[in-house]
Amino acid sequence: MCLMDVVTTYLYRLVDNDVYIKIPERFQMPEAYNSNPQKAYSINLQRSLYVLKQLGRMWYNYLSEYLLREGYNNDPLCPCVFIKKSESNFVIITVYVDDLNIIGTHEEISKIINYLKKEFEIKYLGKINFFFGL
């Protein structure tokens, strides 16, 4: 069993719908836009920011698609659990925001860590001593 942390989790995903935010008060507008008040403008985000409410869903969808392509099954009763089994090996991944708890055989844990490293910057946080205070 091991615990992994995905670094800068929410910055991996492009925004999947139009999201506009107000321009911050202290932001200096270019001179070409000074003819109108700053309140007349907004910013269309191309990448996600930590403050957006949609981020958790967008991150989960991205990770889920990535794991499903690798052959993981998503548990319908607990969508934060992904399972992959073969005749002699297995791996179970539980997702909690940007933390991944990985349980399984040594061979499969090594494979999934290498697979995740191809797409994400991850940190190994060691063996799991407790989870959710248990």
Which pLDDT score is estimated for 30?
79
Which is more confidently placed, 8 or 102?
A: 102
**pTM across the whole model:** 0.71
pLDDT digits (tens, 9 = 90+) for 17-45: 677 778 877 878 877 777 787 778 887 77
pLDDT one-digit tens code per residue, 95-127: 988 889 999 999 999 999 999 999 888 998 888
Q: Which domains does the chain have, with CATH numbers?
A: 2-13+52-124 (3.30.70)
In this prediction, what percent of the chain has a pLDDT beyond 90? 29
pLDDT exceeds 70 at position 82 = yes
Residue 10 has pLDDT above 80, yes or no: no
* Long-range CB contacts (within 8 A, 24+) of 70-79: 70/112, 70/115
